[in-house]
Structures are given as C-alpha cells and as structure tokens.
Amino acid sequence: MYCDGKEFENMKKRPLNEEQLEHMKNVHEHHVACNGTERQKNMAIIDSWVDEYGNVCVRLANNEWYHYYSNGTWG
C-alpha cells in the first residue's frame, strides 16, 4: 500500500517486542528477495509498529507499508 504519511498521524502504534523484531527481519528478507534489484534499493524499513490487531506493520523507504503476518506472508 502507498501512503503519503498523513494516515500514520492518527494510528495507534505500539513498539515491537524481541520476537516480533525477529519475525519482521525474517519476513522482510523474503519480501525483498522477491523483488528486482532496482526495487530492492527503496525497500529499507523506515518505521515499524504493532497495530491494534497485533499485526507487525512496516513502512518502507518507497512509502509503501505492509502487514507482516504471523504465517510469514505480507499484504
């Protein structure tokens, strides 16, 4: 999903615990690997949080954001 940053102002963001950080790193590695070299350059995580449903969320340098689900997928 693309965002301009405004929708993040009112979100309830909770920090990630150690287990969630490890999960985020693992899923992000797979997520980046599924993309071409040029796209990978803009996929650094610039923000991460846990939403009100317990999903790990990440915002990338290209202004896209994703849920990194517990089953290892993203959307």
Other beta carbons less than 10 A from residue 68's beta carbon: 24
pLDDT tens per residue, range 9-27: 556 788 999 999 999 999 9
Mean pLDDT of 44-65: 93
State the residue for tokens 């287990």: 19
Helices and strands: H and E segment counts in the chain: 2, 3
Name the residue among 58, 62, 57, 59 with its Cα closest to residue 39. Answer: 62
**Cα(15)–Cα(21) distance, rounded to whole angstroms?**
9
Query: What's the whole-model pTM score?
Result: 0.81
Q: What is the pLDDT of residue 52?
A: 87
